Amino acid sequence: MQAPESIDQLSARAQAIAGLSLAELADQFDQPVPADFSRHKGWGGMLIELALGATAGSKPEPDFPELGVELKTLPISSTGQPLETTFVCVAPMLDASRQQWHTSSFRKKVAHVLWVPVLADKGMSPAQRQIGSPFLWQLSGEQEQVLKRDWQELTDLLALGQISQINAHFGEYLQLRPKAANGSVRTQAFGEHGELIQTQPKGFYLRTSFTSWILRQQFAPK
DNA sequence: GTTTGATCATTT
DNA sequence: AAATGATCAAAC
């Protein structure tokens, strides 16, 4: 699938896959369907990227660089509650002190997102998961303020060499959690006296309380 | 080895 | 049951 040329085209493509099961979508693109996610955790997201024409394997840029839009799948229950937190980006370690909210990679990712809810109730196989109603969302006002507050707190701690104190309990709507292939992976960071230390890589994740807020905003009866 | 795609599995 | 901490695969 070619990259979409406009927001409207992207939106139309997203609406066109609403209601399909992941098995049906996979069939359209001749993709194999894993029996479970245990060894294919990113499969659903990759499949939807393929179907919408996202640039696979892109790095710091949004999934649709021309449009400035990031694609995120969101597993939800039948009652519309998010079932998992949402990974946004890796945390800067050595560069933490130079980060500014307005130009941060975190803000770039969450500024404009195409959310694709996927019904993923317990017991549903990857094949059975069903695509919901995708919607374009832009970070604004109150939501930006709360995320900025959490992001600034966590980024400041990283800059001050406090990473060893940080766990997933920090942050009201945003949290910092391990993001690595396994528990032995290490990357460089600053220690509490400004020295270089080896530490586990971390990523920023949106709590379900935040994505739940977005869903309510989008689907609440007017 | 790191980033992007996330979910798994143990703890609370 | 929910949240945290750990983990898996592909692309680069």
Name the domain count of chain A.
1
- Between residue 27 and residue 46 of chain A, the positions with Cβ below 7 Å from nucleic chain C are 38-42
Domain-located, residue A182: yes
A56 Cβ nearer than 7 Å to chain B strand: no
C1' of nucleotide C1: residue with nearest CA:
A83
pLDDT, position A220: 84
pLDDT, position A55: 84
Expressed as residue numbers, the domain containing A204 is 7-219
Count the residues in chain A.
222
pLDDT, position A38: 95
Angle made by CA atoms A47, A49, A50, in degrees to the nearest 5: 65
pTM: 0.96
Asked whether A137 and A214 are in contact (CB, 8 A), the reply is: yes
C1' of nucleotide B8: residue with nearest CA:
A38
Q: What is the per-residue pLDDT across A173-190, written as a single tens digit (0 to 9) for each?
A: 999 999 999 999 999 999
Question: What CATH number is attached to the domain comprising A73?
Answer: 3.40.600.10
Mean pLDDT, residues A22-47: 97
| C1' (B10) to CA (A51) span, angstroms | 35
Domain-located, residue A2: no
Q: What is the per-residue pLDDT across A129-150, written as a single tens digit (0 to 9) for each?
A: 999 999 999 998 999 999 999 9
- Whole-number mean pLDDT of chain A? 95
